[in-house]
Amino acid sequence: MISFDGSAREVCLTRRIRTNTPLQALTLLNDSTYWDLSVKLAQNLLQDKTLSLEQKIGKGYALATGHPINEQKTKALQQLYASSYQKLNKEKEKYWACYQILFTENKARNWQLLLSSPMPY
């Protein structure tokens, strides 16, 4: 809260001062809470079979920002997805932790079996 200029509640504030620091960026990128939230969001999106990849990206963006996405932004995020997927697929052992969280519902499943089967897109 302090990183995001939350009040200490000792005095009245008419308005929170708005700051923009690299510490806020680091919190949003690496704080385990945000990591857990983003993983859950990704799991939910990936498991929705009714939407295409572009639609999934659009839904995720809207849920996170409250704004609708546009075509160019979808493209930028799609590129990230494609390059990350390629990496994950090529070096499954190295990225096992990511793979496990995103693509398996049951963490106790036999990972040898998983590694041999194709990854869902």
Partner 1 sequence: MGMMALGSVLDGCNLFSGSNADDSLVSNPLSPRSPHFQGKAKSVIFLHMAGAPSQLEMFDYKPELQKMDGLDCPDSFIQGKKFAFIRGVPKLLGPQANFKQYGQSGLWLSDNLPHFQQVIDDVTILKAVNTDQFNHAPAQLLMHCGTPRLGRPSMGSWVTYGLGSENSNLPGFVVLTSGGRNPDAGKSIWGSGFLPSVYQGVQCRSEGDPVLFLEDPNGFDRDMRKASIEAINNVNELSYKEYKDPEILARISQYEMAFKMQIAVPDVMSIADEPAYIHEMYGTKPGEESFANNALLARKLVEKGVRFVQLFDWGWDSHGTGEDTALDKGFIGKCLQTDKAVSALLLDLKQRGLLEETLVVWGGEFGRTPMQENRDGKQNSFKGRDHHSDAFSMWMAGGGIKGGFSYGETDPIGYNAIDGKVSVYDIQATILKQLGFDHEQLTYQFQGRPFRLTDVFGKPIDPIIA
Interacting residues with partner 1 (CB under 8 A): 5, 8, 17-27, 29-32, 35, 70, 72-73, 76-77, 79-80, 83-84, 87, 94-98
To the nearest whole angstrom, how small is the minimum distance from the Cβ of residue 5 to partner 1? Answer: 7
To the nearest whole angstrom, how small is the minimum distance from the Cβ of residue 97 to partner 1? Answer: 3
Alpha carbons within 13 angstroms on the beta-carbon side of residue 67 total 5
* Nearer to partner 1 (CB atom), residue 49 or residue 93: 93
To the nearest whole angstrom, how small is the minimum distance from the Cβ of residue 89 to partner 1? Answer: 13
Contact 92, 99 (CB under 8 A): yes
Helix 53-65, helix 71-90: angle, nearest 10 = 110
How many residues in the chain?
Answer: 121
